[in-house]
Amino acid sequence: MRPPQKNWALKVSTLIVVTACFVVMAAALLISQNFRNILTLWGEDVQMTVYLAQDLSEQGRLEIEERLKATGKVGEIHLITQEKALGDFRTQLASYAPDISQDDELLKLIPASLQVRLSDGISAEQQMPTLKMLAAEVKELQGVDEVSYGQDWVEKYAALVATVEVGLRVLGLVILLAALFVISNAIRASVQNRKEEIVVLEMIGATSAMIRKPFLVEGGILGVSASVCAMLLCWGLFAATKDLLVTKLSFLQLGNHLQFLSLATVGLFVVGGTALGALASYLCVRRINDGYAGSQG
């Protein structure tokens, strides 16, 4: 069967629309990946503060540290002694309330504390439940007065990560279905334009594979072309955005942490786009050589 020579305007417009769909999907992947990287970077400052009792002995403090390390969730533990805490407090209040900063009786109320940082192996999504678990365990230990880990900020942080992930997945599914629909319409129009050739081929005994192959190839070519174009456009947008963050918005310190999709991800995306085009074609031509000629009569 000779390749179609009609409706080039339809094919070009279909390529543009499908490329736009794939650009949105690739951009969703990029946003998800880099948003997670940025949030993980910000999340490095997430830590738990364990306030110790005034009468806690050195042995008691070491036991608390050992219990924390035994969980396997803790990366670093720093002791903030009462003297250091008082010194920091005086420094902070020196220019605002100098009288209070010299009140030794009031300042003695500031306890020593342990600054606990989570292990690097814990993902951003797992930081919130891990902190909650550790806080619940540490509060029960003797010699611990209070535990704080910026609960409000961390909860919003975790909720933001989850919302972005769900939103991008839903968007990707919708765009995927839209691309499938657009490719199917283009292949269906191609089948209609060549129905006389299909009927003749059926009558002379052509197999289903022989008749369907050109349309499957056409859908695959459309899919691979759109996915490659989408990746090139996304690379251009990514490079421009990163350059803007590095040169114009350097104070955000985000440009150096942005990464494009890996070669493996790009390859899977192109293969997926090709498979999507072939699938859309198959859905349109699956009835060919299965009563198609009779149905067109």
Tell me the per-residue pLDDT of 82-92, one tens digit each, with 9 for 90 and over.
777 776 666 66
Question: Are 129 and 187 in the same domain?
Answer: no
- Domain boundary among the residues 133, 149, 165 is at 149
Q: Alpha-carbon distance 208 to 130, whole Å?
A: 57
pLDDT score, position 140: 83
Question: Are 178 and 268 in the same domain?
Answer: yes
2 has pLDDT over 50: no
Question: What type of residue is 8?
Answer: W
Question: Are 119 and 137 in the same domain?
Answer: yes
Looking at residues 160-189, what average pLDDT do you find?
85
Is 2 a domain residue?
A: no
295 has pLDDT over 70: no
Q: Alpha-carbon distance 76 to 114, whole Å?
A: 10
Nearest C-alpha neighbor of 149 from the set 35, 43, 41: 43
Q: What is the per-residue pLDDT across 251-280, written as a single tens digit (0 to 9) for each?
A: 555 656 677 888 999 999 999 999 999 998
Looking at residues 168-180, what average pLDDT do you find?
88
Spatial neighbors of 63 by CB under 8 A, at least 6 apart, are: 141, 143
Q: Alpha-carbon distance 181 to 159, whole Å?
A: 33
- Domain boundary among the residues 149, 184, 212 is at 149
233 has pLDDT over 90: yes
Nearest C-alpha neighbor of 216 from the set 285, 266, 162, 148: 285
Query: How high does pLDDT run on average in the chain?
Result: 77
Q: Alpha-carbon distance 76 to 92, whole Å?
A: 25
pLDDT score, position 6: 52
Looking at residues 164-179, what average pLDDT do you find?
86
Question: Are 187 and 266 in the same domain?
Answer: yes
What total of structural domains would you count in the chain?
2
pLDDT band with cut points at 50, 70 and 90 for residue 293: very low
The first and second tokens of residue 10, run together, are 């339809």
Question: Are 170 and 115 in the same domain?
Answer: no
Looking at residues 212-218, what average pLDDT do you find?
86
